[in-house]
Structure 1
Amino acid sequence: MNTIFKHAICIVALAAASVLTPAPAAAQDAVSLDSEVQVAKDVDGVTTYVAPEQVFPGDRLKFVTRYDNSGAEPAEDFVITNPLPGAVSLAEDGDFLVSVDGGESFGRLSGRTVAAEDGTQRPAELSDVTHVRWIIPSIAPGESGEAIFFAQVK
């Protein structure tokens, strides 16, 4: 299987892999999620994001998870967690929490550490991130929004 095809499979799989980790409440069930991956295309110096037909190493990707509360009650402390497939690296830090240990623990990138080759701890880098997470304090009835992060194909 060629590398481009492997990357495309991983990216499509991630679009379907957004994980909702709700707090126990009926309002959580009324929130729906929809995910999509887009690839950056530069045309005449203007960057737009389009559905990927093929991706190549170095391509910048935009991962979007849309949420919508169709219920009658607010959804409180709503959690969205997105795993990063091995074929991509986080491209930039954002307004979200990250995990560098396979989704076991989350925090700001600036506070994360990983083991260096010599066994000491070093500050985590974008390439160490395995998951991103948003905790949305409250999603009112009828409210919708997006959680977005950017990655780069390895």
Structure 2
Amino acid sequence: MVKAVFPAMVIAGATSAALLPASAHAAGGVHFASDVFVERFQPAPGGRTARILERADQLRPGDRVIFVVNWSGRKDGGFTVTNPLPRTIAFAGGADGEQEVSVDGGRTWGSLEELSVRDAYGHMRQAHAEDVTHLRWRIPTPQALAGTGQMTWRGVVR
């Protein structure tokens, strides 16, 4: 099984370009491309609210962002994608719930409900979304042989 790891991503100068890996990364014939979108809501006709997705050019604290990682290529045996979260982004959930999370730098993995962390007083508590440090997706052989796929997750700029 091939493991793809995206480099640590940080926000520099409040632009989204620093949130993306410097270039597409290959993992044994699998190629990755990332995008970041800001999710905004605005009034729409009939008292509705319209959801607008814009490519992230400038980011401000509180912005809701959607990360999209597209992959292409075929890999027999499947592969794993690990994505460290930028410290300036708080995890706000995955679009499909297929990801595992880590709250300790990638040492242990599970669903958020299964993990715990020590609070400032040394007591254990259930982990919260803002404790997430890494995301991981396991792409099984049938999907890996399909040739393309997408992983998405949400965050909030701290």
TM over 0.5: yes
Look up the match of 2:40: 41
Distance 1:18 1:130, change over 3 A: farther
Q: Give the structure 1 partner of residue 152 of structure 2.
A: 148
Equivalents in 1 of 2:90, 2:125: separation in Å? 18
> Residue 19 of structure 2: SS of its match in structure 1?
helix
Q: Deviations over 1:8-59 (max 9, x none)?
A: 3xx4333217997x9xxxxx51111111111112243221222112111111
**Against the structure 1 CA distance between its residues 7 and 88, is the aligned structure 2 distance closer, same or farther, given a 3 Å change threshold?**
farther
> Taking structure 1 as reference, are residues 19 and 97 closer, same or farther at Cα in structure 2, changes over 3 Å only?
farther
**CA distance 1:83–1:14, change in 2 (3 Å):** farther
Q: Distance in 2 between matches of 1:12 and 1:99?
A: 25
CA RMSD of aligned residues (A): 2.4
- Indicate yes or no: 2:93 matched with 1:92: yes
TM-score, normalisation: structure 1: 0.79
- Given candidates 104, 129, 133, the residue that maps to 2:132 is 129
Q: Distance in 2 between matches of 1:17 and 1:129?
A: 23
Contact 1:40–1:50 (CA under 8 A) maintained in structure 2? yes
Percent of matched pairs sharing the same residue: 33
- What is the TM-score of this pair, normalised by structure 2? 0.77
- The 1:66/1:57 distance shift into structure 2, 3 A limit, reads same
* Aligned counterpart, 2:60: 56
Aligned length: 139
- Return the offset for 1:107: 1.1
Structure 2 residue runs without a partner (length 5+): 1-10
